[in-house]
Structure 1
Amino acid sequence: MARAPYDEKLDDYGLAPVRLTPSPRHHEEGYLSRQLSREAFAEAEEAARETHTDIGPPPDGGVAAWSAVAAASCVLLVVFGFSTSMGQLQAYYLENQLRGQSKADVAWLGSIQSMLIYMGSLFAGRVFDAYGPERLMWAGTVLLTSSFIAMAFCTQYWHLILAHMLFGIGGGTVYSPSTSISGHWFARRRGTAVSVVITGAGLGGIVYPLLMREMFVRLSFRNTLFVLAGFTFMAMIPACTIMHARLPRRKPPPWSIFKEPWKEAPYVCLVIGAAVWLTNVFTPYFNAPLLAATNRLSPKITSYAVLILQCGSFVGRILVGPLADRVGVWSVFGAMSFLSSLFVLALWTGNVGPGGAIAGLVLFGMSSGGWMTMVTAATSAISPVTQIGMRIGMLWTFAAIPNLVGPVISGALIGVAGGKFIYAGLFTGLMMFVGSAIMVSPHTVTWWRQRKMKDGESINTNI
């Protein structure tokens, strides 16, 4: 099929297309190709003229590319390493500063923190697309480090709310740029690059619980938080110094550009489905010790429940990137979505015994970690390169409110169940299943239509 002139010119700017139409090659592979409308191309061409630079296609490697990816991984080590370790910290709060508070009350700390990380992504993504990540990284480093120092002096519930809000604002400043940077430098190997970035979150999910568990028994709470502040500052230095965008700086696009993605069914379904799926993604992380304790695991192993889950997450984040480069981003993304639901419903809702509890921790960690890795790659796959930061930021912002209330509702359901996870597990698993179905629905419809077309062609050939 002959290519339109504006399609050929599009390659010169290294831009990914947006509007989805089946191509002959993807009829065979079950994927979708994308084509920019003439209006969107005109805007992209004008943006390229403003920079007076031919950016060319992503290099898919090199020192600058891998340095940016490694630095972004350090950011995720801090932001999601600490966020997914809140179960460890909440257990400490319930035994010390917040003794007497309900589990639902304490769950608000992690929920508000996560909501602010996601909501800040829209603003940060827009700034990143226009100016690059440097200023955002420095601002986020100051806020994140300051939040740990603030936590060190907290003695009351409202003190902790403000301190965790500060961490959430700092995390929102750096999260979207860090997950978007791989789209600037990688195309063919984007799945692997994203996997390296998100693996930092899994590694942080191992490091932070270990640090807290060991230091809480050796140091005071205040000194432990000071150590975490210093560790956080050092971990963020690579992002402040070596993480750079490939695209030249340009004027921020008009606010009207936010309307464009909502005209595309695949993006709309991805955002809505992800918001439903993410409602309870942190609920198992916050309640891993509860699952272990109610399934007769020893107190020592129970204290490592969050760490066991995080180890599974670390493995999942490593494996899905190379796998996605082989079989397709959306194939792996859909599989991780449904597997997470299956593992929660099968292994988190009943009395599964010590072995089943450990399997539930590891398997949900692997699938949810894989999902968190692939959601960025899935968004990038249906977005133009100049809008990756904005579109990822919009997705996380839209998911912020459900993510705020999910763990709180689950905390209340745990109370109704007499301290057991059964109702919260059903709520979590079903929400993830519904979200998965919404996310993959456009691709399922496209696959079904392609299959019917092939069947029709086969019948005509036989006739």
Structure 2
Amino acid sequence: MVKADSINSKELETLSNTPQARSEKDFGNLAIANPDIEEGTIVGDDPAADPEKQAPPPEITFPDGGLQSWLVVVGASIALFCSFGYVNAFGVYEAYYLSVILKGKTADDIAWIGSIQIAFIFGSGLFAGSIFDRYGARVIIVPASIMLVVSVMLTSICKEYYQFLLCQGILGGLSQGALFTPAVGCIGHYFNKKRAAAMGIVVAGSSLGGVILPIMLANLLERTTFGWTVRSIGFLFIGLLWITCVTVVERLPHRKGTFFLPQAFRNPSYSLLVAGNFFILWGLFTPFFFIPTFALNLGMSHSMSIYLVSILNGLSFPGRILPGIIADKIGRMNCMIIAPIVTCILIWCWLGVHTAAGLITLTAFFGFWSGSVISLFPAVMAQIVPNPREMGTYLGMAMGISGVAGLTGSPIAGALLTHYGYTAAISFSGSCMIVGTAFLLVARYLYNPKIFAIA
């Protein structure tokens, strides 16, 4: 029989509430039956007594609603409006730089600005996720908000190519990634049953930014200088990001232990999801960057080519919310498979577009389904994370790897476009989507081999 002084009352309470303890006649029999209980199991695990153990307590619950939960959703959505929403407007910058400020540069040269920005958004998530898990949201969101405003203001006075790379690409990407990761990670602290729907609303903020910001840029560029146009974006961000700084707050205790969690890659579903997301992002941003220039080649006006960016992002708004609601009913991984399959088909359909009407139609459908791809990934990631307190680190490590795809995807497509035309660039994008979808299919099978199961 285990002596009473060998276990404290809190540990005894934890053990007595486990299925193993309830199946035994008394605690002594449990100790005899399990002499070598492994660290990290629920039996005998007390995270409060040993912070290095990261298994979630069995009684953990999620509000799945309430004022504070939805305020976090609002603040996180604003964070994505100012981060990925701003990146989604890069098609406007691409067209303007190519025709006005940086006329001596090629399409792939200018694409490097946006690609570096995307790469640093994902790459900075590698560190932002762990910082969020260990120290909380505001520690990183407040300085990131200041950095983003500084980045936009500096972009407004840039004249040379290298200046845009530094201010818009590197500094902008770092600050936007530091906003994105904790904003999405906090949702996993508040939602479980409604997690995909909540994630969809949050990620829809980037779609709203992708609608409003291109229109704002296009209209201001016709009425004032480039400098004051971009500074107007900076002032808008000042008015919005303070809401994010106030509302986005973590709920669960901070994680202790190592900065990264490399053992996550021992989970084959996680590793395959990361690989699938890498290839999907490698090809996904090609239409975002090059649909405006494709429209110009079809004879569409410059203003209409810019509005195509808003159409794309406008349709991605319902594409990020509706699939999330459906995913909570039929399975998040199931929807995560459907969305890239349809998106891949649409990219290949781009090869057959030769009219303005056809391009507008393709842009609308692509906007909806590409939005689904982006919004469902964090929800699926949260589903396979064993402990919600590790959500930021798991997501950050995945984003860090995906940063390579964000860095190289659009410049590769731009180089193919410059040397071989749109057919080569579109084929590269579609091929990447096929490979990425194949990885997701295998991940889904390993997670649950039953084809019609809700997973």
* 1:61 shift after superposition: 0.7
Match of 1:236? 241
Answer whether contact 2:214 2:306 (CA < 8 A) is retained.
no
Q: What is the distance in 1 between the residues matched to 2:16 and 2:365?
A: 43
Match of 2:356? 354
Counterparts of 1:36-75 in structure 2, within 5 Å, are 38-41=38-41, 45-49=45-49, 56-75=60-79
After superposition, the Cα gap between the structure-2 partners of 1:64 and 1:167, relative to the gap in structure 1 and judged at 3 Å, is same
* 1:259 shift after superposition: 2.0
Q: Secondary structure at the match of 2:101?
A: coil
* Match among 183, 206, 209 for residue 204 of structure 1: 209
Q: What is the distance in 2 between the residues matched to 1:75 and 1:68?
A: 10
Counterparts of 1:151-170 in structure 2, within 5 Å, are 151-164=155-168, 165-170=170-175
* 1:277 shift after superposition: 1.0
Match of 1:302? 305
C-alpha RMSD of matched pairs (Å): 2.4
Q: What is the distance in 1 between the residues matched to 2:182 and 2:304?
A: 37
- Which shifted more, 378-387 or 297-306? 297-306
* 1:399 shift after superposition: 0.8
| Residue-by-residue CA offset, 1:1-33 (whole Å, 9 max, x unaligned) | xxxx979659xxxxxxxxxxxxxxxxxxxxxxx
* 1:142 shift after superposition: 0.7
* 1:253 shift after superposition: 2.0
* 1:340 shift after superposition: 1.1
* Match among 367, 370, 373 for residue 371 of structure 1: 373
Q: What is the distance in 2 between the residues matched to 1:7 and 1:319?
A: 42
| Residue-by-residue CA offset, 1:35-62 (whole Å, 9 max, x unaligned) | xx953336994433468x9883111111
TM-score normalised by L of structure 2: 0.86
Do residues 401 (structure 1) and 407 (structure 2) align? Answer: no
| Residue-by-residue CA offset, 1:320-340 (whole Å, 9 max, x unaligned) | 111111111111111111111
Counterparts of 1:179-198 in structure 2, within 5 Å, are 179-198=184-203
Q: 2:47 is matched by which residue type in structure 1? A: A
* Match among 336, 340, 344 for residue 337 of structure 1: 340
Q: Secondary structure at the match of 1:155?
A: coil
* 1:177 shift after superposition: 0.6
Q: What is the distance in 2 between the residues matched to 1:363 and 1:259?
A: 38
Q: What is the distance in 2 between the residues matched to 1:229 and 1:296?
A: 33
Q: What is the distance in 2 between the residues matched to 1:9 and 1:99?
A: 68
Answer whether contact 2:73 2:202 (CA < 8 A) is retained.
yes
TM-score normalised by L of structure 1: 0.85
Answer whether contact 1:203 1:314 (CA < 8 A) is retained.
yes
Match of 1:415? 418
Segments of 5+ residues of structure 1 without an aligned counterpart are 11-36, 453-463
* Match among 91, 101, 104 for residue 105 of structure 2: 101
Counterparts of 1:4-23 in structure 2, within 5 Å, are 9=18
Counterparts of 1:239-278 in structure 2, within 5 Å, are 239-250=244-255, 252-255=256-259, 258-278=261-281
* 1:447 shift after superposition: 5.2
* 1:416 shift after superposition: 2.1
Answer whether contact 2:218 2:303 (CA < 8 A) is retained.
no
Segments of 5+ residues of structure 2 without an aligned counterpart are 1-13, 20-36
Q: 1:142 is matched by which residue type in structure 2? A: I
Match of 1:459? none
Q: What is the distance in 2 between the residues matched to 1:299 and 1:330?
A: 39
Match of 2:426? 425
Answer whether contact 1:349 1:423 (CA < 8 A) is retained.
no
- Find the structure with the greater CA-based Rg: 2
Q: What is the distance in 2 between the residues matched to 1:308 and 1:106?
A: 22
| Residue-by-residue CA offset, 1:283-332 (whole Å, 9 max, x unaligned) | 21111112323445455422311111111211201211111111111111
* Match among 149, 172, 181 for residue 176 of structure 1: 181
Q: 1:227 is matched by which residue type in structure 2? A: S
Q: Secondary structure at the match of 1:244?
A: coil
Q: What is the distance in 1 between the residues matched to 2:221 and 2:143?
A: 29
Q: 1:357 is matched by which residue type in structure 2? A: L
Q: What is the distance in 1 between the residues matched to 2:433 and 2:16?
A: 38
| Residue-by-residue CA offset, 1:70-122 (whole Å, 9 max, x unaligned) | 10000000001110110101211122221111111101100111101101101
* 1:181 shift after superposition: 1.2
* 1:357 shift after superposition: 0.9
After superposition, the Cα gap between the structure-2 partners of 1:435 and 1:6, relative to the gap in structure 1 and judged at 3 Å, is farther
After superposition, the Cα gap between the structure-2 partners of 1:224 and 1:9, relative to the gap in structure 1 and judged at 3 Å, is farther
Match of 2:438? 437
Q: Secondary structure at the match of 2:257?
A: coil
Q: What is the distance in 1 between the residues matched to 2:431 and 2:241?
A: 37
Q: What is the distance in 2 between the residues matched to 1:150 and 1:180?
A: 29
After superposition, the Cα gap between the structure-2 partners of 1:446 and 1:180, relative to the gap in structure 1 and judged at 3 Å, is closer
Give % identity: 28
Q: 2:40 is matched by which residue type in structure 1? A: A
Q: 2:48 is matched by which residue type in structure 1? A: A
After superposition, the Cα gap between the structure-2 partners of 1:379 and 1:157, relative to the gap in structure 1 and judged at 3 Å, is same
